[in-house]
Structure 1
Amino acid sequence: MAEEAEKESPVLLSIGHSTRTIEVFTGLIETHGVTLLVDIRTVPGSRHNPQFNKETLPGRLKAAGIGYEHLAALGGLRHSRLKDSPNTGWRSPGFRNFADYMLSPSFEDGIEKLIALARDNRAAIMCAEALPWRCHRILVADALTVRGVRVEHIMGLGSPLKHELTPWARVDGTTITYPPPPDENTSPEE
């Protein structure tokens, strides 16, 4: 019975590769027990940190016993197609556009695939930005949270930071919108 409950409510980790060396990065996710890294970058490469390019990263992870999956459906860098965005609580156009994308069937398909992967693996989502609140991982984490998935952000070797739903998020079932907060001082810089 406890095993069933655990399968129904997976824990998913979140990490940004930042400028870490591949050795430091691999050691960090190994320390946190990650068995599958899910790359949620739209463009899975980096000119400045080529060790995280899709062509080389899977092989380095495999050598450490960690799987790799690129899930483009959850990638950032989205352009909104909504005339009147319900997500104007985000000052950053990038965050607002991604929040608009979260209302699409493509996002829903991607998030369901991610949850299935997290049920079968100790999975971590990865993007480039080290700080989750400066990355679209924060919005993906909100979407997972309202679906009953606990998300923890890996910040370093210590205990991961438990994700809390964005304060001004409005939730209707599994649909999240981000209208302007009542107190504009609570809206993020991003």
Structure 2
Amino acid sequence: MGLLTVGHGSDDRVALGTRLTAAGIDLLVDVRRFPGSRANPDVRREALAGWLPEAGIGYRWEERLGGRRRLARDEPVADGWWTVAQFAAYAGHTRTPEFAAALDEVLAAAAGATVAVLCSEYVWWRCHRRLIADVAVLGRGVAVGHLMPDGRVAAHRPADGARPGDDGLVHWPAPRVDQVTWSTRTPAGGQPMEG
């Protein structure tokens, strides 16, 4: 069946519930490391665990897939394609046994039901759901779609820097200098820069 991802954004229980129901979601797996919200009480862990089952949707919090990871202070960055430190840190987390076990459990559930992983960002490309999707597609061969705020499902396109490794894991190495393409910049005078 594949896997879906969804971001709750500012949706209240009615808006989010409508999107999830319209998409046929059977189980929502919360992948926020800290599943709370000061601004939106409807998406707090306790609230979701209460109102989602009333709407016929199962709920599970999966801390092992949670974002907000940090790079170790003196550890070299193995996933240099990411320019945001938290994404680079999460990329490393995707290669841990903890992450692998949690993702395998979610994908096993998705084999027999319509499952979505939830985080707060409306759009997947600004969220660690992007990396979860990269690993599902490239590392596990599972199709992933992103449930957009307007209800459309966008097929996941792995990050340009994502590479399946010989170890069976996904890596996002820094591009080699000879692979970097530089765009021509136009300064204030309107003429392209030379050289």
Q: TM-score, normalised by structure 1?
A: 0.88
Structure 1 residues 148 and 185, CA gap change in structure 2 (3 angstroms) = farther
Please point out which of 113, 117, 134 is paired with 1:142: 134
Q: Which amino acid aligns with 2:76?
A: D
Q: Report how many aligned residue pairs link the two structures.
A: 177
| Aligned sequence identity (%) | 33
Report whether the alignment pairs 1:119 with 2:111.
Answer: yes
Q: Which amino acid aligns with 1:155?
A: M
Aligned-partner SS, 2:4? strand
Report whether the alignment pairs 1:72 with 2:63.
Answer: yes
Structure 1 residues 64 and 35, CA gap change in structure 2 (3 angstroms) = same
Supply the distance in 1 between the matched residues of 2:54 and 2:34 (Cα, whole angstroms). Answer: 23
Supply the distance in 1 between the matched residues of 2:181 and 2:118 (Cα, whole angstroms). Answer: 30
Supply the distance in 1 between the matched residues of 2:61 and 2:148 (Cα, whole angstroms). Answer: 22
Report whether the alignment pairs 1:21 with 2:12.
Answer: yes
Task: Tell me the C-alpha RMSD between the 2 structures.
Answer: 1.7
Please point out which of 79, 82, 85 is paired with 1:87: 79
**2:148 match:** 155
Give runs of ≥4 in structure 1 deviating > 6 Å.
Answer: none
Q: What is the Cα deviation at residue 85 of structure 1? A: 2.1
Aligned-partner SS, 2:59? strand
Mind listing any 5+ residue stretches in structure 1 that lack a counterpart? 1-9
Larger Rg: 1 or 2?
Answer: 2
Aligned-partner SS, 2:46? coil
Aligned-partner SS, 1:85? coil
Mind listing any 5+ residue stretches in structure 2 that lack a counterpart? 184-195
Please point out which of 172, 177, 192 is paired with 1:178: 172
Supply the distance in 2 between the matched residues of 1:77 and 1:92 (Cα, whole angstroms). Answer: 11
Q: Deviations over 1:98-131 (max 9, x none)?
A: 0011121111111111111211321000000001
Aligned-partner SS, 2:149? coil
**2:30 match:** 39
Report whether the alignment pairs 1:131 with 2:123.
Answer: yes
Supply the distance in 1 between the matched residues of 2:128 and 2:48 (Cα, whole angstroms). Answer: 21
Supply the distance in 2 between the matched residues of 1:175 and 1:105 (Cα, whole angstroms). Answer: 11
Supply the distance in 2 between the matched residues of 1:109 and 1:133 (Cα, whole angstroms). Answer: 24
Supply the distance in 1 between the matched residues of 2:76 and 2:154 (Cα, whole angstroms). Answer: 34
